[in-house]
Amino acid sequence: MFYTQSSTMRKIVELFLLIIVMAAIDPLLNIKLSEWDIRPFFFFILLFSLRYGLYIGVLSFLLVSLYRIGSLYIAGDDVLLLFYNTSEQAWFFIHLLTAIVCGLYSTSFRERYESLHYRFQETDDENQELTETITMLEHSHKRMQEKVLDSEHSLNRIFQIGLRLDQPSPELVRNEAINVLSELFRAETLGLYHVDSSKKSLRLRLRKGEAEHLPQTIFTEGDSHIYQRMLTQKTIILRTVEDEAEAPVLVGPIVSQDEVTEAIVIHQIDFAKLTSHELQIMSLILEWTATRINRANSQMQQQERNSMYPGTRMYKHEAFSSLVTQQEKRKEEFDIPYSILEIPFYTSVDVSLVETEIILRTRLRELDIIAYNHSTSTFYFLLPGTNQENAVIVRERIKALLQEKDGMYVS
């Protein structure tokens, strides 16, 4: 490796310092360095020419020449003889040639060294870039493996979810949907609401968590922008800064035949689960829930055809007890209240059950269930999500409605 010195000033200081030292020692010790057969100044020029190249080598020759002339002048010799004496001319020629040849030699090899050094640096920089690229590729490869494993896990997880949602009745599908969403997304407070046909209100079916955040009825008109966006866009909606302070974190639609029939409302959720990948999984679960509810409804309609009066959605009294049992289980699991009304009535006119059901439905919600005992002329009403206080109000409404119709008497 060549000795490198980037400071030109330091090179010149070294040159002058050494020549001054030699010039100081020469008269002090009277050793006459310029007259030696093996002259130290020759090695002086040789050293600086090889060490620093052509320009410093020529400068060292000029300093030695000045010292030679100055020493002769101080000694009282004829300075002009230096330019006429053949041996002195040879001295100047040999020293100048040494400075030029050695300087050029040093400069050429120094340039080659610097060129190789620059190439080495470029190669080293490229190696570092390649090393960083390989590191990034290894990291990306590892992430891709994790993604593949995560995808496989997701597929297996979705398959298990599908098995859980594959239930024989719509209520069991809804129960599993709430449990799946709560477990999968670590949602502590969430509810499943029925969307009425007018799209103006949501009625609570199921809930988990704090009841104060999940009221029995949510009205979608007014300042409920998040619900309006959900009903319009028919997709999962996250709360924004423009929504009201009481708005949930997330609402998701359950769409059946291009209509939002039910909705998931989540108030407390693990925000780490709100990635685009997780939201796609949630959207898939909601779509799957909709298809399973529709399929279960179709199967139930065929199975319950004999449990209902022809042409109505009114159950026979024998099937009513099983519906109450299902509602009791939901109350125990999800803390959803329910009420049962029993209203006997008599009529002096011939009114069909179809007409009677149409009249009664005007005072009931879409999710309320009606049953009729023909032998005792008694109506039974199952009101999910309704406490006893509100059930009394509903009872009075129904009695008043029936009494308004001619020939109908309520006991």
- 67-71, 136-140, 249-253, 266-270, range with the lowest pLDDT: 67-71
Q: What pLDDT band is residue 25 in, cutting at 50, 70 and 90?
A: confident
| pLDDT surpassing 50 at residue 253 | yes
Q: Are 51 and 85 in contact (CB under 8 A)?
A: no
Same domain, 180 and 282: yes
- Are 314 and 354 in contact by the 8 Å Cβ rule? The answer is no
Same domain, 296 and 328: no
Average pLDDT over residues 149-164: 71
139 part of a folded domain: no
What is the pLDDT at residue 410?
52
| Contact between residue 103 and residue 95 where contact means Cβ atoms under 8 Å apart | no
Q: Which of 148-157, 265-274, 298-307 has the lowest mean pLDDT?
A: 148-157
At 336, which amino acid appears? I
pLDDT of 319 over the 80 cut: yes
> Is the pTM value of this prediction over 0.85?
no
Q: Taking residues 257-273, what's their average pLDDT?
A: 88
Judgement on whether residues 326 and 341 belong to the same structural domain of the protein:
yes
Residue 163 belongs to some domain of the structure = no
In a domain, 164, yes or no: no
- Lowest-confidence segment of 188-192, 332-336, 361-365 by average pLDDT: 332-336
| Statement to judge: residues 237 and 328 lie in one domain | no
CATH number for 388 = 3.30.70.270
pLDDT of 411: 55
Indicate if the pLDDT at residue 177 is higher than 80: yes
Residue 146: half-sphere exposure toward Cβ, Cα within 13 Å: 6
pLDDT-derived band at 31, boundaries 50, 70, 90 = low
Higher pLDDT, 198 or 407: 198
Q: How many domains does the chain have?
A: 3
Same domain as 232, residue 357:
no
User: Using CA atoms, how far apart are residues 254 and 271, in angstroms rounded to an integer?
Assistant: 22
Answer whether residue 223 shows pLDDT above 90. Answer: no
Confirm whether 145 is domain-assigned.
no
Range of the domain at 115: 8-126
Mean pLDDT of 386-402: 86
Q: Is the predicted pLDDT of residue 86 greater than 60, yes or no?
A: yes
Q: What value, to the nearest 5°, has the Cα angle with vertex 184 and ends 337 and 140?
A: 165
| pLDDT at residue number 46 | 77
Cα–Cα dist 71/39, whole Å: 15
Report whether 326 contacts 157 (CB < 8 A): no
CATH number at residue 244: 3.30.450.40
Residues 89 and 20 in one domain: yes
The residue whose two tokens read 């050494």 is: 18
Domain co-membership, 177 together with 296: yes
Q: Are residues 24 and 107 in the same domain?
A: yes
Average pLDDT over residues 8-37: 68
What percentage of residues in the chain have a pLDDT greater than 70?
A: 88
Highest mean pLDDT of the ranges 38-47, 75-84, 349-358:
349-358
Instruction: State the pLDDT confidence band at 290, using cuts at 50, 70 and 90.
Output: very high
For residues 87 and 133, what is the distance between their CA atoms, to the nearest angstrom?
A: 67
**Is the domain of 289 the same as that of 343?**
no
User: Domain ends where: 303, 330, 361?
Assistant: 303
Residue 87 lies in a domain: yes
Is the model's pLDDT at 213 over the cut of 50? yes
Token readout for 255 is 């769409």
Contact (Cβ atoms closer than 8 angstroms) between residue 109 and residue 2: yes
Q: What percent of the chain has pLDDT over 90?
A: 14
Question: Average pLDDT of 154-171?
Answer: 82
Q: Average pLDDT of the chain?
A: 81
pLDDT of residue 39: 66
Higher pLDDT, 336 or 125: 125
- Among the candidates 258, 287, 303, a domain finishes at 303
Pairing assessment for the beta strands 237-238 and 250-256 based on DSSP bridges: antiparallel
**Predicted local confidence at residue 2, as pLDDT:** 47
> Are 165 and 296 contacting, i.e. CB atoms less than 8 angstroms apart?
no
**Domain check: are 240 and 349 in the same one?**
no
Q: What Cα–Cα distance (Å) separates residue 147 from each residue in 150, 183, 275, 277?
A: 5, 22, 14, 11
Strand partners, 409: 346
Task: Please report whether residue 160 resides in a domain.
Answer: no
**Are 294 and 335 contained in the same domain?**
no
- In a shared domain, residues 109 and 188: no
Whether pLDDT at 128 is above 80: yes
> Is 45 part of any domain?
yes
3-state secondary structure the chain: CCCCCCCHHHHHHHHHHHHHHHHHHHHHHCCCHHHCCCCHHHHHHHHHHHHHCHHHHHHHHHHHHHHHHHHHHHHCCCCCHHHHCHHHHHHHHHHHHHHHHHHHHHHHHHHHHHHHHHHHHHHHHHHHHHHHHHHHHHHHHHHHHHHHHHHHHHHHHHHHHHHHHCCCCHHHHHHHHHHHHHHHCCCCEEEEEEECCCCCEEEEEEEECCHHHCCCEEECCCCCHHHHHHHHHCCCEECCCCCCCCCCCEEEEEEECCEEEEEEEEEECCHHHCCHHHHHHHHHHHHHHHHHHHHHHHHHHHHCHHHECCCCCCEEHHHHHHHHHHHHHHHHHHCCCEEEEEEEEEECCCCCHHHHHHHHHCCCCCCCEEEEECCCCEEEEEEECCCHHHHHHHHHHHHHHHHHCCCEEEC
pLDDT surpassing 90 at residue 38: no
Q: Give 286's pLDDT tier (boundaries 50, 70, 90).
A: very high
Last residue of a domain, one of 264, 279, 303: 303
User: CA-to-CA distance for 362 and 347, rounded, in angstroms?
Assistant: 19
Residue 274 vs residue 194, higher pLDDT? 194
Residue 146 domain-assigned? Answer: no
The pLDDT score that the predictor gives to residue 350 is 65
